[in-house]
Homo-oligomer: A and B are copies of this chain.
């Protein structure tokens, strides 16, 4: 099996995972291991000590360039950094395995939580496909949905659904079915990748579907760069959602029928009796 990727400087990296390399690893007491680590919304104050310790002790860091930059200051001097572009997840997972098979401690970084649209799944799949007996630990992080929610108030304090509008990996029909289901059953809804590849159509379609089932006055919020420099937080309504500035790194949260705006923040009422 042969794949390639580019490092942070754009240099081509060749990756070969040889059958005997896998077999050697399975028989020996290797220190090679992979941790798939969630770095949270981006600033170090939301990075858990467990995640930090994994990064600080890594021989090799593998991740999408933007995320690697966020944790640059805590990477061990001399550690190898294999960075790359969005959309090369399989290659990054293969590189991670290849390096771990060379007895390195490898950390694969994802923003937010690695188990939510992150690298956790593909790393486990690649290790299985290669029949490599390699320890893989998933280290959770503060996920974008709750980081964004914390900036908006408390929109997700009752049941909610998380939906990515990217149809790169999921057929659009299935995304529509999920939007219909979530909107019609009064879930608060978190939208990831609202404008993947710069396309506006998926968001416009999601907007139409939500409006079919939900009040146009339902509070909605948009968060860019939650907890990072350049953070932007907008509280608006479902009907005015498309008028707001939204890009591919924005997280959108649309409330449910119990969501109201309280002192400028979204709060989904849970039904407590406040007069008790």
Which A positions have Cβ atoms within 8 angstroms of B? 3, 38, 40-41, 44-50, 53, 89-90, 113-118, 120-122, 124-129, 138-143, 146-147, 149-151, 153-164, 169-170, 174-175, 177-178, 180-182, 184-187, 262-263, 265, 267-274, 276
Contact = CB atoms under 8 A, between A and B. Distances in A.
A125 B274 contact: yes
Given A47-B49, A187-B181, A115 B150 contact: yes
Classify the secondary structure of A's interface with B. mixed
Contacts of A146: 38, 113, 115-116, 140-141, 143
Contact of A150 (B139, B158, B186, B262): B139
Contact of A177 (B50, B53, B175, B185): B185
A126 to B, nearest CB: 7
Contacts of A140: 41, 46, 142, 146-147, 149-150
A186 B170 CA distance: 12
Contacts of A160: 161-162
A272 B154 contact: no
A50 B227 CA distance: 11
A181 B209 CA distance: 15
A156 B272 contact: no
B158 A164 contact: yes
Contacts of A170: 158-159, 270-271
Contacts of A143: 142-143, 146
7 contacts: A45-B48, A45-B49, A47-B49, A114-B154, A116-B146, A116-B157, A178-B185
Nearest to A43: B50
A89 to B, nearest CB: 6
Interface centre among A90, A114, A116, A157 (most CB of B within 10 A): A157
A93 to B, nearest CB: 9
Given A121-B157, A140-B46, A273 B150 contact: no
A32 B153 CA distance: 19
B185 A263 contact: no
A272 B90 contact: yes
